[in-house]
Amino acid sequence: METFFIVRSLSYGMIPQEDKVRVNARIPRPLYDIICSRYDTIAQAIHSGLELLISQDDTNVHTPDIREHTQAQADIQELTARLGERERVIAILQADLDKAGQREEDLKQMHNNYFLQVQTLINQKAIEAPGNKKQWWKFW
């Protein structure tokens, strides 16, 4: 009986390399300890576990039902609506920002015009001859 087990182990390990695929997984330490106590190698444990999964009925496999699909569609529609709303808000804020920039330019221009006008008045007063002043009592 031991010889058969050894031969079985050797035949299991003799599968050609091109027919094998490497799989890796991270598992919790307690599960690893249990596997090491029950199986000789991790490869045997993985092989046994995958064969057990294949042998089970397909009814145990989780398939999304109609409610989950409907809920996902509703979520997608809600998110699409929210995205459209956000895009409209962004467009409104961009328009407000453009208007504010235009107002700032208008205020700068008005400020420049005001100071140009004041400077012109100062220059006119400086150009007038100091002797041509009207007396204060001649107001007409």
pLDDT digits (tens, 9 = 90+) for 29-73: 988 888 889 999 888 888 888 888 888 755 565 566 777 888 889
Q: What is the pLDDT of residues 60-117, one digit of tens each?
A: 655 667 778 888 899 999 999 999 999 999 999 999 999 999 999 999 999 999 999 9
Contact 12, 44 (CB under 8 A): yes
Beta-carbon contacts of residue 36 (< 8 Å; ≥ 6 apart): 42
Q: Averaged over 116-125, what is the pLDDT? A: 86
Q: What are the structural domain ranges in the chain?
A: 2-58, 74-127
Evaluate if residue 6 carries a pLDDT over 70.
no
Evaluate if residue 10 carries a pLDDT over 50.
no
Q: How far is CA 130 from CA 22, 123, 125, 137, in A?
A: 104, 13, 9, 17
User: Taking the model in full, what pTM does it have?
Assistant: 0.39
**Which pLDDT value is given to residue 139?**
66
18 vs 32, which has greater pLDDT?
Answer: 32
Q: Averaged over 11-23, what is the pLDDT? A: 67
